[in-house]
Structure 1
Amino acid sequence: MSFIKIKIINFLKLVFPSTYAELAVFLFFITCYGALGSYIALNYRIIFDNRIPWDAYFSFDNKSILMTGGSFERHPLSYYFFNWIREFCLFISNGKMDTTFRLTLAWLSNIIITLNIVQIFKYLKYIIKLPLWLNILIILFFGVFSTNIILSFTPENFTYTLFLLSLYNYYAAIKLKKEQKTPAAALTLATITIGGLTITNLIKVFIPLAFEKGIFRDWKKFGNAAIRVAIAIICYTLLYLNRIDFKYQNIFSKTNQQYEKFSNVESMAGWDMILSFFFGGNILFPGFIISDKHNMKGFSFKALYMDLYSSLFSYIFIAILVVLISWSYLKNFNNKWVQTIALSFFVDLLIHCFMRFGLHTSYIYGGHFIFIYPLLIGWLFYAYRTSPKTIIFLTSVVCILFVYLLANNWYRMSEFFWFLETYYQ
């Protein structure tokens, strides 16, 4: 068998289900997400409406992203990616932006988010090596996170970023487990795709390299890693500059404008936005606020935003979840896989909580980091694998959280459908 053929087969096994258990997970979630996305696409116009460029629900920019890829300073290369997505959907719909167009967009999102679930299942199974029943509990819990539900029918950067980050973290974990280095080609591809869709995720691609065996004790290994990073950065930079016709001054001016726009919100307490939006809204739906918006061209429409939590139980839920992942991090502090995903999460904490960029809408950024929750919970179970009483306690806690999460998000989705029925039929 040729080298290229082996690489292709390995890539397909990495991305897609390769066992009956993985296939069962894929079929279950594609059925659930597919039914939700199809119903919304066939009955409502909210997934894509030519008149609404942004913010129809939860600040997602469906039309704007699909038509332009988003702002070049935050999404450097997504213009090219979404050109392909748009053209493919137009091909399926015979050039019309109609119901079939929306349905195709929804199913692309269904598939991507389901593959994201599969990646988490594989990580729990092959890297952490948890028993099957525990894997299933954790991915069911993960599967009803609000970000996964919303992105399962939303054509956005975050939809594809979530999958790519989950995939790359699983791939990097395999390399660390085998004590192998990440090849320059794979590193460059990850840099272009992950960093190309959202520039703030660029640093996350290089974090696993810091945990390669002996990299800081062997100058040859360190030099090799530096060369791989340099190749990836050069390729990325050239593509980025080509995208903006080498007018690099625009990057700094636009970035400053974006930071000023999304970092100066004084109407809500910072601690509450951190709990309700950054830690909370991307997992447990809060209540919603309806706002009047217009598209700058004379068309007015209704937009839906997330509100701060109003229930004590919601704050308790988030507090327990934060305790669990913090506990996992401290318990597994010397674990290189845990440090890899924790450092990735710290990047988002720094950007949104400390620098306050987009903190008032940080629930939309869940696609950059929510995959770390099931992984850290998985590592917590792993740390206590020889302690049956602690396993029973943790299982009980996760089951209670899952039931509350499912009930809350089911109820909030019913409110979302009321919004669709009222304004987007």
Structure 2
Amino acid sequence: MKTKIINFFKLIFPSTYSELAVFLFFITCYGILGSYIAFHYRIIFDSRIPWDAYFSFDNKSILMTGGSFERHPLSYYFFNWIREFALFISDGKTDVTFRLTLAWLSNLMISLTMVQVFKYLKNIIRLPQRVSVLIILFFGIFSTNIILSFTPENFTYTLFLLTLYNYYAAIKLRKEEKTPATALSLAAITIGGLTITNFVKVFIPVLFEKGLFKNWKRSGNAVIRVFIATVCYVLLYLNRIDFKYENIFSKTNQQYEKFSNVETMPTWDMIMSFFFGGNILFPGFIMTDKHNMKGFAYKGLYMDLYSSAFSYLFIVILLILISWSYLKNFKNKWVQVIMISFFMDIIIHCIMRFGLHTSYIYGGHFVFIYPLMIGWLFYAYKTSPKIMSLLTLTISLLFIYLFFNNGFRMSEFFWFMETYYQ
């Protein structure tokens, strides 16, 4: 038992000096950003603003209710703990201390996400440390990570849990071990409980366990483990809604209609600017007038479509790298686990069009795939110095452009907060 507890903490937290350095670097950078915003602005939490203050995040609504049960089945319980902890620290007040606590919880989650991705690059792909550091720095300034580092939302915790589970599952596949029913159930409840569309992703690594389709005992064991995890999840979900399962279908249909019928922008441009782009490279912003249904008016900020050819070029180059990595590593089971998960999000948002006009907020479900696939591309050419140099140069140039673009857009975000949220 003692060994299991130690291994559990080693899995989640930094366990080497390089991992600790990554953690300290990001928790410091994100911490400075989040602390400044919490101290000087009320945008992280304002009791009058339930949703959409910035980029369609629902900070107050999520903290108070966990979000809608049909999309976030069990997050009600999770955010009860988050809210009560923040109120305990702030002495029951939703003041600057309350905002600061929420920001630092988010900061901790995103910083640990960086550690999980770094561990994957170092221990699963086994890249040279300089390459792992370049990739993690590149990943660290993705727009999703910057925003989620101070945002108390489902996506903040989902991103951490997905990266943690992917690293854990990758270790199991490397050791040719089965993922225990307990781990599957816990992952299904936490990951699927925060966002229902991620529930199936938990079982993808099971498909690649050694000898699964060659031995009926292994197949039967896998079915039992999946069945146990599913039953645990479903029972908790039904208990959350007092077993009124008919509400799931009616509410889900309403949500789909609400978030899938947007005709004001070209579909291809929303896919490029929002789904593939907005999670990584900030586009320009649009301000809108909002109200809380109770007479209070406020300003909201949304992402716009890209207006620069350089932004489209950036995303195209990144997608070429990801596609190249997938084709080069097609027979790699770790790569298949990652990409099957990604394809699920593409189907939901790009093909079914659910939330496509605001798909930049869903980055927490899949944005970690980019650094991992870039890592596998480096791995595929580890014996080719010329291509390794080319890839290093390409990522370095993308990093420079991303750094200056996102830095400039964050200055616009600060102007927005300075003007409307002091």
Q: TM-score normalised by the shorter chain: which range applies?
A: over 0.9
Residue by residue over 1:162-204, the C-alpha shift from the partner in whole angstroms, topping out at 9 and shown as x without a partner, is: 0000000000000000000000000000000000000000010
Distance 1:78 1:54 in 2: 17
Select the residue among 344, 350, 353 that pairs with 1:347.
344
The letter of the residue matching 1:312 is: A
Q: Distance in 1 between matches of 2:4 and 2:58?
A: 36
Structure 1, residues 237-286: CA drift from partner, whole Å, max 9, x if none? 00000000000000000000000000000000000000000000000000
Please give the alpha-carbon distance, in whole angstroms, between the structure 2 residues aligned to 1:347 and 1:7. 33
Deviation at 1:340, TM superposition (A): 0.2
- Name the amino acid aligned to 2:156: T
In structure 1, what is the Cα distance between the partners aligned to 2:393 and 2:19? Answer: 25
CA shift, 1:6, in A, is: 1.2
SS in structure 1 opposite 2:126?
coil
Partner amino acid, structure 2, of 1:333: F
* Separation in structure 2 between the aligned mates of residue 5 and residue 296 of structure 1, nearest angstrom: 53
Counterpart residue type for residue 356 of structure 1: R
Amino acid at match of 1:225: A
1:199 and 2:206 correspond: no
Q: How do 1:89-100 and structure 2 match up within 5 A?
A: 89-100=86-97
Cα distance in structure 2, aligned partners of 1:6 and 1:247: 42
Distance 2:378 2:19 in 1: 21
Partners in 2 of 1:374 and 1:275 — Cα distance?
18
Instruction: Give the equivalent residue in structure 1 for 2:212.
Output: 215
Paired with 2:221 and 2:321, the residues of 1 have a C-alpha distance of 37
Q: 1:382 aligns with which of 362, 379, 384?
A: 379
Corresponding position of 1:33:
30
- Paired AA for residue 63 in structure 2: L
Q: Structure 1, residues 278-334: CA drift from partner, whole Å, max 9, x if none? A: 000000000000000000000000000000000000000000000000000000000
1:274 paired residue among 271, 276, 290: 271
Structure 2: where are the runs of 5+ without partners? none
Aligned partner of residue 244 in structure 2, secondary structure: coil
Partner AA of 1:212 in structure 2: E
Residue equivalent to 1:367: 364
Distance 1:243 1:5 in 2: 34
1:249 to 239, 246, 253: 246
Paired position in structure 2 for 1:157: 154
2:309 to 309, 312, 322: 312
In structure 1, how many angstroms separate the alpha carbons of the residues matched to 2:351 and 2:333? 25
Question: How many pairs does the alignment contain?
Answer: 422
| Unmatched runs of 5 consecutive residues or more in structure 1 | none
CA displacement at 1:364 relative to structure 2 = 0.1
Q: How many Å separate the matches in 2 of 1:364 and 1:383?
A: 31
1:121 to 118, 123, 133: 118
Q: CA deviation at 1:7?
A: 1.0
1: CA distance, partners of 2:128 / 2:390: 16
Structure 1 distance, partners of 2:362, 2:394, is 26
TM-score (norm 2): 1.00
Shift of 1:5: 1.4
Deviations 1:93-147 (A, max 9, x none): 0000000000000000000000000000000000000000000000000000000
2:199 aligned counterpart, secondary structure:
helix
State the alpha-carbon separation in 2 of the partners of residues 141 and 25 from structure 1. Answer: 13
Q: TM-score, normalising length from structure 1? A: 0.99
What amino acid sits opposite 1:377 in the alignment? I
Cα distance in structure 1, aligned partners of 2:5 and 2:253: 42
Tell me how far apart the structure 2 counterparts of residues 181 and 329 of structure 1 sit (CA, whole Å): 25
Q: How does 1:79-94 map to 2 (within 5 A)?
A: 79-94=76-91
Q: Distance in 1 between matches of 2:189 and 2:43?
A: 30
Cα distance in 2 between the residues matched to 1:194 and 1:151: 17
Q: Does 1:328 align with 2:325?
A: yes
Q: Is 1:102 aligned to residue 99 of structure 2?
A: yes
Looking at structure 2, the residues matched to 172 and 322 of structure 1 have their Cα atoms a distance apart, in angstroms, of: 25
The 4+ residue runs of structure 1 with deviation greater than 4 A are none
Matched, 1:302 2:275: no
* 1:161-240 equivalences in 2 (<5 Å): 161-240=158-237
CA distance in 2 between counterparts of 1:318 and 1:367 reads: 18
- Per the alignment, residue 61 of structure 1 pairs with 58
- Give me the whole-angstrom Cα distance separating, in 1, the residues matched to 2:47 and 2:2: 43
- Alpha-carbon distance between aligned partners in 1 of 2:126 and 2:333, rounded to the nearest angstrom: 16
Q: Does 1:394 align with 2:391?
A: yes
User: Distance in 1 between the 2:171 and 2:390 partners?
Assistant: 30
Percent identity between matched residues is: 79
Residues in 2 aligned to 1:416 and 1:216: alpha-carbon distance in whole angstroms: 52
Cα RMSD (Å): 0.3
